[in-house]
Structure formats: structure tokens, C-alpha cells
Amino acid sequence: MLRPLYDWTLKQAAKPNAEKVLAAISFAESSFFPIPPDVMLAPMALAKPEKAYRFALICTIASVLGGLFGYAIGYFLEPVGLWLLKMMGHGDGLAHFRHFMDEWGMWVILGKGLTPIPFKLVTIASGLAHFNLGMFIFSCVVTRGARFYLTAFLLQRFGPQAKELIEKRINLVAAVCVGVLVLGIVAIKFI
């Protein structure tokens, strides 16, 4: 079902208005769209490696704005937020998620923002849980920026081999990124 949408997204990367479409997909993916922006970011960064970080910045800004939209859906439109979570197969766990957010909050957003787990789940559920907006924005900027800039760096540095690695081993790449992030934060706490 998602294959035609995936193929359409790849085709958009070659068009003159690709940056605008990249921003729109990055925005939408953080609140309701099923295809991640990496699908466009990768071919765009491979085609124009000198603009890889510009593309990562576009993804980051649009994704954070889309995350705010997802947060607003959960916060202000609870029935819609609950319906969207149900549509994604996660409608029954809201009480558990609220408890989890109360205990781990920022760490949930940081961890999930780097992984292939749909970010829209985190943004909508964060709004439903009334998670602190300032911490939400900060966490989104850090995690989405890390994800997209790491992707841009790998694609710029290693080219097609990195794209193949990312597509085949996205979970491993995400786990390593989360591990490095956690170690960095723990190191900062002890300094």
C-alpha cells in the first residue's frame, strides 16, 4: 500500500521544486504522513553533496514545525489525536504513554526521534499527555537535527554506500545514534 507513495516521494527528489516538497514531507511526516523525509533527503544529498547540510536544515526546521502541529493535534484536538493514534495501531496505550512521559519525557522524544518509529506517534501523544512545550521543542530540535544531519554527513562523506547501509541497517544506525546521544548526556552530567 505504501509502495506507490514511496515511489512518488523518490520522484519528487529529482524535480526543480524538490526543496519545497522536502519541507512539506518533513512537516507532514511529523504529524500524519507515513513516509519519512529521508526517502527524499538521500537522493537529493547524493545528487548535490554540496547542499546536503542545507537539505538537512530544511528537514530539521520543517520536521520541528510539523512536530508542533502534531503536538497541537494532541493537545487541542484530543478526539482527532486519539483517532490518529488508533489508525496507526496505538490508540489503547495512551494512559501508559502518559505515565511513561511523566517519568522519562524528554528521553522518549530524543530516542524515538532518531529511530524509524513514526515520529508522529511521539508528537501527537506528547500533546495528548500535555508534555512541557519548551522541553518538547528542545527535544525535537536535538533529535531531528541529529538524525537529518547525520544522514546528510554519511551521504556526503560515503555516497551511495552510505545510502545502502542506511536503507538496510536503519535500526542499527538509529540504535548507535541513540547510544552515542545517551553516552554524551551522561558524560555531560558527570562533568
Q: Taking the model in full, what pTM does it have?
A: 0.76
Q: In Å, how far are 14, 85, 87, 188 from 132, measured between CA atoms?
A: 39, 20, 25, 22
- Give pLDDT, residue 188: 47
CA dihedral 139, 154, 49, 160 (to 10 degrees): -130
Residues in the chain: 191
- Give pLDDT, residue 191: 45
Report the chain (191 residues): mean pLDDT per 10 consecutive residues: 66 86 93 82 85 96 96 92 77 68 74 71 88 93 93 84 62 61 55 45
Q: Which of 166, 158, 182, 141 is nearest to 57 (CA)?
A: 141
C-alpha cell at 7: 515511489
State the amino acid at position 21 in one-letter form.
Answer: V
- Give pLDDT, residue 179: 65
- Distance, in Å, from the CA atom of 124 to the CA atom of 157, rounded to the nearest integer, reads 34
48: which residues sit within 8 A by CB, 6+ positions away?
55
Q: What is the pLDDT of residues 134-180, one digit of tens each?
A: 999 999 999 999 999 998 998 888 876 766 665 566 556 556 655 66
* Helix axis angle, 52-76 to 119-128, nearest 10°: 40
- Give pLDDT, residue 14: 78
Sign of the dihedral defined by the CA atoms of residues 58, 174, 143, 126, in that order: positive
Domain boundaries, the chain: 3-190
- Give pLDDT, residue 83: 84
- Distance, in Å, from the CA atom of 110 to the CA atom of 141, rounded to the nearest integer, reads 9
Q: 88 with 116: CB under 8 angstroms?
A: no
